[in-house]
């Protein structure tokens, strides 16, 4: 059985939201976009016919936005569709990607759009959180859908990426809370001119799981250094970043080249970048280089470094650098019981999955690692699965293994060995007495 990873390397969408129908034909209550930072609340609370948002794939809500120029107004579009509905409503918010509790820019009102403030009044909000929503829920012919236009002025200075969250109500227009479909979505808007001010510097490129020096094609690595982002600004992944099941090769005005190939990215901060090594990278020494302000006439390149590389670089993800992430049905693994571990650097799979791809289903490794727990080598028949983890980037592997029945309890050393390379010493798995 393939389990969900406890330490996700991608963000999953939180679904939920707004309304339109007679009760809220002039706009829903605030905090209904389903944005996690606002508690994930949606208008499904009132529109209870269908108990979850996005539950009918025939409908949708979509945000259309362009890269922003600081302080320059642009018109956003929120489009709601459903083939059986005829009245349409929405709510939209804009937050800093670096701190979703902070408002990003301001919305403008018009005859169809109302702007409400977190302080309980209508705009202007004077820095308080803003919620743009329908002022008059629009009727159309059945199935026609509707697009609201919302004028938005981004912050006067570049603040990195901005995340827009929207929810839409595809309503039947019968004047009740019944029979209405709720949808949610989000979109990340980046500055249209990259202007990171410093020269990037790389001090190391190592396994993201263990920080060991050896990396390998397809493995997830961390690049350490400086000048990757302004201090205090970080950028992770959002669902909208994973387009058509493929991870981005640019985040927040940063790219990484490994052996002159762009690497799929999952995180960038001032001093750390997490990427997946491209498939064709060298196994005898891989050149790593960070590029800031790509896409402008004169991008800025770090000095390249050459990282140690090999066909395999087995390493277990840990909670604290010492204790492996280990899941079991009863909590902690026990002697003779199953444990699920997470790793990177375990080589190719059958079938092969390209670097930077969102894994759709269980995909086993071509070669199994030798696993040792508490000094006991696990027999191959007790290794249930070693392969890619569904729902994550293709460099994250899942291992389902039976703890040797003769193992002691407590923190037991654990290692993986593949292709003559072992995972680092000093990592343990916590084994508990069976219930």
**Residue ranges of the domains in the chain?**
22-189, 201-307, 315-431
The pLDDT of residue 223 is above 80 = yes
- The beta strands (E) that lie in 118-239 are given as 130-134, 138-139, 146-153, 162-171, 181-189, 201-207, 220-226
Mean confidence (pLDDT) of the chain: 89
The pLDDT of residue 131 is above 60 = yes
* 16 or 408, higher pLDDT: 408
The pLDDT of residue 18 is above 60 = no
Q: Where does the pLDDT of residue 224 fall: very low under 50, low under 70, confident under 90, or very high at 90 and above?
A: very high
The pLDDT of residue 11 is above 80 = no
In sequence order, which residues have a C-beta less than 8 Å from that of residue 19 and are 6 or more positions away? 28, 32, 43, 46, 47, 89, 169, 171, 180, 182
* 249 or 40, higher pLDDT: 249
pTM of the prediction?
0.67
Give the C-alpha separation, 396 to 359, whole Å: 9
The pLDDT of residue 32 is above 70 = yes
Mean predicted confidence (pLDDT) in 402-407: 96
For domain 315-431, give the CATH number. 2.60.40
Question: Which residue carries 């727990």 as its tokens?
Answer: 373
Same fold, 22-189 and 315-431: yes
pLDDT attached to residue 238: 72
Q: Where does the pLDDT of residue 38 fall: very low under 50, low under 70, confident under 90, or very high at 90 and above?
A: confident
Give yes or no for a cis peptide into 141 (omega within 30° of 0): no
In order of 8, 237, 288, 355, the CA distances from 306 in angstroms are: 28, 27, 6, 20
pLDDT digits (tens, 9 = 90+) for 299-330: 999 999 999 999 999 999 999 999 999 999 87
* 109 or 233, higher pLDDT: 109
* 160 or 388, higher pLDDT: 388
Ranges 16-20, 203-207, 321-325: which has the least confidence: 16-20
Ranges 41-45, 206-210, 319-323, 388-392: which has the least confidence: 41-45
108 HSE (CA, 13 A, CB side): 13
pLDDT attached to residue 240: 67
pLDDT attached to residue 43: 66
DSSP for 93-106 reads: EEEESS-TTSB-SE
pLDDT digits (tens, 9 = 90+) for 147-203: 999 999 999 877 888 999 999 999 998 888 889 999 999 998 988 777 777 899 999
The answer to whether domain 201-307 has CATH 2.60.40.10 is yes
For domain 22-189, give the CATH number. 2.60.40.680
Question: Which residue carries 């007495």 as its tokens?
Answer: 433
The pLDDT of residue 7 is above 80 = no
């Amino acid at each position: 059985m393939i389990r969900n990873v406890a330490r996700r390397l991608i963000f999953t969408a939180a679904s939920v939201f707004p309304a339109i129908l007679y009760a809220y034909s002039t706009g829903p209550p605030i905090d209904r976009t389903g944005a996690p930072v606002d508690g994930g609340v949606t208008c499904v609370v009132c529109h209870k016919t269908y108990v979850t948002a996005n539950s009918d794939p025939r409908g949708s809500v979509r945000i259309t936005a362009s890269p922003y120029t600081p302080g320059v107004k642009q018109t956003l579009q929120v489009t709601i569709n459903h083939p059986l509905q005829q009245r349409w409503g929405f709510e939209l918010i804009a937050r800093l990607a670096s701190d979703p509790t902070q408002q990003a820019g301001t919305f403008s009102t018009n005859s169809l759009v109302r702007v409400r403030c977190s302080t309980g009044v209508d705009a202007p909000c004077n820095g308080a959180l803003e919620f743009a929503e329908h002022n008059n829920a629009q009727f159309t012919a059945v199935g026609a859908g509707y697009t609201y236009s919302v004028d938005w002025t981004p912050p006067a200075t570049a603040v990195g990426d901005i995340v827009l969250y929207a929810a839409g109500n595809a309503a039947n227009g019968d004047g009740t809370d019944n029979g209405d479909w709720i949808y949610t979505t989000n979109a990340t808007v980046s500055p249209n001119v990259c202007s990171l001010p410093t020269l990037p510097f790389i001090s190391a490129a190592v396994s993201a799981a263990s920080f060991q020096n050896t990396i390998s094609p397809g493995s997830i690595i961390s690049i350490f250094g400086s000048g990757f982002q302004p201090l205090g600004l970080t950028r992770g992944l959002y669902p909208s970043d994973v387009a058509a099941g493929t991870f981005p090769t640019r985040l927040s005005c940063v790219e990484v080249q490994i052996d002159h190939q762009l690497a799929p990215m999952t995180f960038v901060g001032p001093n750390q970048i997490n990427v997946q090594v491209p498939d064709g990278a060298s196994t005898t020494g891989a050149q790593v280089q960070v590029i800031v302000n790509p896409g402008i006439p004169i991008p800025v390149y770090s000095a390249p470094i050459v990282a140690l590389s090999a066909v395999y670089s087995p390493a277990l993800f840990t909670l604290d650098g010492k204790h492996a992430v280990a899941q079991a049905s009863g909590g902690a693994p026990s002697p003779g019981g199953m444990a699920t571990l997470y790793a990177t650097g375990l080589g190719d799979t059958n079938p092969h999955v390209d670097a930077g791809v969102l894994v759709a289903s269980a995909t086993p490794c071509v070669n199994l690692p030798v696993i040792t727990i508490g000094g006991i080598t696990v027999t191959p028949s007790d290794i249930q699965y070693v392969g890619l983890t569904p729902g994550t980037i293709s460099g994250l592997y899942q291992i389902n293994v039976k703890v040797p029945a003769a193992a002691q309890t407590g923190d037991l050393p654990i290692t993986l060995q593949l292709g003559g390379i072992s995972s680092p010493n000093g990592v343990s798995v916590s084994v508990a007495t069976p219930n």
